[in-house]
Amino acid sequence: MSLELLLIVAFGGALLSYLFGKICPQIRDPFAVISSVALAVMMAFLYGKTMESPFYFGFLGLPLILRTNMLAWFFAMAISILGALSVIFSWDYVKDRERTDFYYLMLLLANASMLGIVFAGDFVSFFVFWEIMSWSTFLLISYNRGRALGAGMKYIIMSIVGSVSMLIGMLSLYAIYGTLHIATLSKLVPSASSGYLLFLFILFGIAFAIKNALMPLHTWLPDAYAESPTSFNGVLSGMLTRMGMYGFLLIIYVIVGAARALNLGPGIFKFNYILAWLGAITIVVSTFIALLQNDAKQLLGWSAIGQGGYMILGIAFGTSLGLAGGIFHTLNHAVYIVLLFMSVGAVQYRTGGQRDLDSLGGLIKRMPVSFIGALLGISGLIGIPLTNGFVSKWLIYKTLILEGHPFLAFAALIGTWGCILYCYKFVHHIFLGQLPEKYKMVARAPFSMQLPMIILSLVILLFGILPGIPLKVINTIGTSFGFQSLNVTTWGIASETGTLNTINIFAAVVAACVIVWLIFKAGPKAVPVAQEDTYAAGAAIPKDRYHYTVDFYNPLYRMISPYFKDFIGGFCIKLAGWTQNVCHGIRQMYTGYIGHYVMYIVLFLALLIFVQLKWSLW
Amino acid sequence: MRIVEVILAPILALLIGMFFLGLARKIMARIHWRYGPPITQPVIDVIRLFSQKSVSHGNMFTLGVLFSLACSLVLILFLPMGKICPLSSSGGMLVILYVMLLAPFGIALSGGEAANPNASIGISRKLTLALGYEVPLLVILLAVMTHYKTLSIVNIVSMQQNTSWALTSLPLFLSGIAYILILPAILGIRPFEITQAAQEISSGPMVEYGGSFLALATIQHGLNLFIGIALFVNLFLGGAGNPPIFFLKMLVVFVLGLFINAALPRLRIEQAMRYLWRWPTLIAFIGMIIVLIIRR
């Protein structure tokens, strides 16, 4: 099966869905689902293949090339599966909205362009697909209009800055080496001077750090996540943001290579150290900001910024363990963040778009599948043992501790402990606590929403109990970068400095749960009571009057809120305000009177004459 | 042999945890110039509670308590007690750290479904306090792991057996001091008895528990005491070559903790946070820098 065919199916599926929507709307949704599922199935057959073929020669004499290897396949598989699940989830979610044809076109286009990015064998096609992705994402983020327009504008401005920076890097590569073919460049670039490599890293790094929302270039993400349609959040948060990670892997380990890329730079200001510290700062700051959020999607957005920091920390040190941890965390994060957004989406769908944490509550009794999804999602996010997030975080912590960077390890660990607080807030405020009167009759999520949630929940457990399945693929990627192979078994990683064995933990937890359950069963059966039937130490609590979740961690909020604000986001907004004022001032020049324009010209000429007489520059 | 250890370890921990609960009541009573209940009182209470009626607020309410107790039991298997450590080679310190936070998390999920204002306040306090003491605790544990260059708690214990206790060795002395300063917060005794605060918020997260729920929560509380002290003994007091000496060390630490418990009043949560993020954290960071300097 050729790669051209895959991309034709991906892009063709997007365009045909749009056409079907215009001609015969009933078959549009099934067609979108079938085409994206078919794409995922085709992708599975590509496992383990390595190939490369040019598909177009006409662009400035440069061949446009598609290629695949383990790294590309790994990302492509995740993109196509999560994309297919998001399309299934969208079925009911966008059914009654306007411009659904447009929605499906952009959603499938974003998926297809991501596949294009990972299969691109040269930088021209990489850039073209990168731009298709940015623009289709921009249109979807601003799909809801209103506040979403501002969020989309923020996203596309930052995205363009990144693209321009990447374009300059590509042009310099072309000017020096005369080719943009990635495989050729990876042979030529490693012999370049250190200064030039740093220049490349900074230019490409800006583009990829913006996409991966690494601080201080994260400001687009919280609003974009919060305002885009929740059914698209899966694609946006799962893999689209992590195209930045793919880019980092490409530039650091494929093109420049580990031997040159690590320890590049003077003294302690080495490129990968700076990257690691940025990752650590990202983790700590965004964790505490997430804690202060009261909007479910803003909270998840900030947490996604923080998790991006873990991935960067993992790959920055260039050890086999850390690299495996970083890549594995990219996959794991995609799985659980998509699940969490789907859970929020299901709640929004049934409660009329409500995502304010202080207004929800008690939905566990009405929407059990969404609750289980949210619970497993936050378990993965925290990294509770036997869920997927644990294994990748374990690998990252272990790298940091054994490499002798306890301060970075501290940042990573404290990020996790802060994460528990906002994760509990998330699941407690939505699903536990009091069920408000107005949500007493809320129905379960429709099947098209439950199915992806159930699949992703199972994946979280599968990768947590048998982490060897994805780790073997990741190990192949690591060895293709020239790293030592890890001793991966199906249920963990063995090494002299501390072994991970998930099957032992699994057996112990199952046994303990069974024993405790049996002891509990031996006692008298508990009587179920209504939620109002609680003990309040003699005080009478009026029904539906108080909401116990408001200001949940009040003492902590008061302590941290002066220090953990989005200062950079605030600065960007100020900068935008200033620019607007300056531009507004300049616009005053255009009065419409011809006499004023003549005056400008005369004044300008007078200035030129004055300058010439005074300094005689010309 | 391993199977015997797997069965023996939780039972021993359970007995010692319950013994600690009884001992605590007896010693506190004696400090207050009372006679106090017999030392077996907590065991009698648990048996009585199992036969009493209870109410449930839903599935998560039930499963949360069970999950919390199960996690505490599993954690016992990772902690070396003398020579007994059934799951020594399954992930080391990082797994212990993670499993340690599951027990309060299970109680929080369970209490959360009860929709009780006191439970809500209690959980909020518990999680905030946990974040408070985890900051210095993580620094301390990282200093220990960096110093001994291993993630395995069994190796940490055996290295201390060969040389000297971490608390008395130069690089880890300050870390040990910081650990002692936060130990009451980890154990949840006064002045950090903020979560339960019976007089203020009617036992916080436990307020809705009765009958077998309360029995399980009590057992979990006992195990929690055991785990908190056992971790300290293993990391800083050199563990032990055989179980009796290990339990003796634990007893000494616990009784000292009880004296603090009897002498100090309860702090407010923000006072506790300010204390925890100031002195213990500062000392722990200095300790970590010393470890790094010596390592270089």
Question: Which of the listed ranges A1-15, A431-445, B59-73 does the model predict with the highest average pLDDT?
Answer: B59-73
Question: Percent of chain A, pLDDT > 70?
Answer: 97
CA angle A228/A234/A239 to nearest 5° reads: 110
Please report the pLDDT score of residue A144 as a whole number. Answer: 83
If asked whether residues A368 and A495 sit together in one domain, one would say yes
- Domain end position, chosen among A447, A478, A512: A512
Q: Which of A505, A490, A71, A494 is nearest to A321 (CA)?
A: A494
Please report the pLDDT score of residue B90 as a whole number. Answer: 58
Q: Is the pLDDT of residue A503 over 80?
A: no
Q: Is the pLDDT of residue A603 over 90?
A: yes
Provide Rg for chain A, Cα atoms.
Answer: 26
Q: Is residue A429 part of a domain?
A: yes
If asked whether residues A169 and A184 sit together in one domain, one would say yes
Q: Is residue A583 part of a domain?
A: no
Mean pLDDT in residue range A368-382: 89
- Interchain pair A526, B213: CB under 8 A: yes
With an 8 Å Cβ cutoff, is A47 touching chain B? no
Q: Which of A379, A244, A405, A387 is nearest to A319 (CA)?
A: A405
If asked whether residues A330 and A182 sit together in one domain, one would say no
CA A72 to chain centre: 17
Whether residue A122 contacts residue A95, with contact meaning beta carbons closer than 8 Å, is answered with no
If asked whether residues A163 and A286 sit together in one domain, one would say no
Indicate the pairing of strand A527-528 with strand B55-56: parallel
If asked whether residues A459 and A433 sit together in one domain, one would say yes
- Interchain pair B115, A533: CB under 8 A: no
Chain A residues in contact with B94 by the CB 8 A cut-off are 394, 397-398, 498
Tokens of A255: 């093109």
The total domain count for chain A is: 2
Whether residue A126 contacts residue A120, with contact meaning beta carbons closer than 8 Å, is answered with yes
Please report the pLDDT score of residue A276 as a whole number. Answer: 87
With an 8 Å Cβ cutoff, is A588 touching chain B? no
Chain A residues in contact with B213 by the CB 8 A cut-off are 526
If asked whether residues A310 and A215 sit together in one domain, one would say no
If asked whether residues A98 and A209 sit together in one domain, one would say yes
Whether residue A242 contacts residue A212, with contact meaning beta carbons closer than 8 Å, is answered with yes
If asked whether residues A248 and A267 sit together in one domain, one would say no
If asked whether residues A282 and A142 sit together in one domain, one would say no
Q: Is residue A288 part of a domain?
A: yes
- Domain end position, chosen among A512, A532, A562: A512
The distance of A511 to chain B (nearest Cα, Å) reads 9
Q: Is residue A615 part of a domain?
A: no
Please report the pLDDT score of residue A602 as a whole number. Answer: 93
N-term to C-term CA, chain A: 65
The distance of A442 to chain B (nearest Cα, Å) reads 17
Nearest CA in chain B to A546: B117
- Domain end position, chosen among A487, A512, A537: A512
What tens digit of pLDDT does each residue of A201-223 get? Answer: 888 889 898 988 888 888 888 88
Q: Is residue A356 part of a domain?
A: yes
Chain A residues in contact with B207 by the CB 8 A cut-off are 534-535
Nearest CA in chain B to A532: B115
What tens digit of pLDDT does each residue of B103-119 get? Answer: 888 888 888 888 788 88
What tens digit of pLDDT does each residue of A302-321 get? Answer: 999 989 899 998 888 878 88
Nearest CA in chain A to B3: A508
The distance of B34 to chain A (nearest Cα, Å) reads 27
Please report the pLDDT score of residue B89 as a whole number. Answer: 62
If asked whether residues A296 and A246 sit together in one domain, one would say no
Q: Is residue A546 part of a domain?
A: no
If asked whether residues A171 and A287 sit together in one domain, one would say no
Q: Is the pLDDT of residue A594 over 90?
A: no
- Interchain pair A364, B58: CB under 8 A: yes
Chain A residues in contact with B54 by the CB 8 A cut-off are 523-524, 526-527
Pairwise CA distance, residues A290 & B1, whole Å: 48
Confidence band for A499, pLDDT divided at 50, 70 and 90 = low
Q: Is residue A190 part of a domain?
A: yes
Please report the pLDDT score of residue A192 as a whole number. Answer: 80
What tens digit of pLDDT does each residue of B257-272 get? Answer: 888 888 888 888 888 8
Q: Is residue A392 part of a domain?
A: yes
Q: Can you tell me the ipTM of this complex?
A: 0.89
If asked whether residues A462 and A363 sit together in one domain, one would say yes
The domain of A66 spans 1-220+241-255
- Interchain pair A432, B112: CB under 8 A: yes
